[in-house]
Amino acid sequence: MARIRTFLGIDVGEAIRDRLVSLQQELTAVAEDVKWVEPENLHITLLFLGEVAQRETLDICRAAQKAVAKMPAFSISVEGAGCFPNPRRPRTLWVGVGEGADEVGAVHDAIEAPLLDMGSYRRETRAYVPHVTLGRVKGDQPTDALAKELAKHRTWSAGTITVHEVHVMSSELTPAGPVYTVLGRAKLST
């Protein structure tokens, strides 16, 4: 039975994506051992499902659509650079969501419940924090220069967009990096 690596996310749009790529380029000067996310793959992940049976993807799309159909579209601001777990030992470099973070959290929660019921998702142990992953640090060396640069970009802003839909995505891992494909769109009310 075919299995598909699947996640749900929010597209940030071309203008914000371009600004995020500019920030990646700025951070490259101080972030030595980082695998940067490809520009076309920059997004806000809502839920990572992992490998799911291909026959389940239609049910996942339907569950997501039903979960968000009555939720109104909303604006978000993509802003503030940071890292997980902390600046002394960064593993993931990201830009957060300012305005609209509560709404993104509500969309996450609304979709999570039916997917848990379906058995298509296992709840994360850590709290959900909406963000766009910029890159993953490969080395173990603490980088003071990177921590200082991230601190300078704590109030940095990529702009604001209106969220009209959630994408159900497949992620095919290739030697050149993951290739994302939209499997379904769950539209919010307008």
Write the CA distances from 167 to 41, 84, 126, integer angstroms: 13, 24, 23
The helix/strand count (H/E) of the chain reads as 4, 9
The β-bridge partners of 3 are 53
CA distance 162 to 77: 9
For the chain, give the longest Cα–Cα distance. Answer: 49
Identify whether 142 is preceded by a cis peptide bond (ω within 30 of 0): no
- Out of 108, 131, 164, 167, pick the active-site residue: 131
Q: Which two tokens stand for residue 66?
A: 């039903």
Please indicate whether residue 131 is annotated as part of the active site.
yes
- Out of 43, 108, 153, 167, pick the active-site residue: 43
CB 104 within 8 A of CB 46: yes
| Burial of 12 from C-beta contacts in 10 A (0-12 / 13-18 / 19+) | buried
Please indicate whether residue 43 is annotated as part of the active site.
yes
Active site amino acids: 43, 131
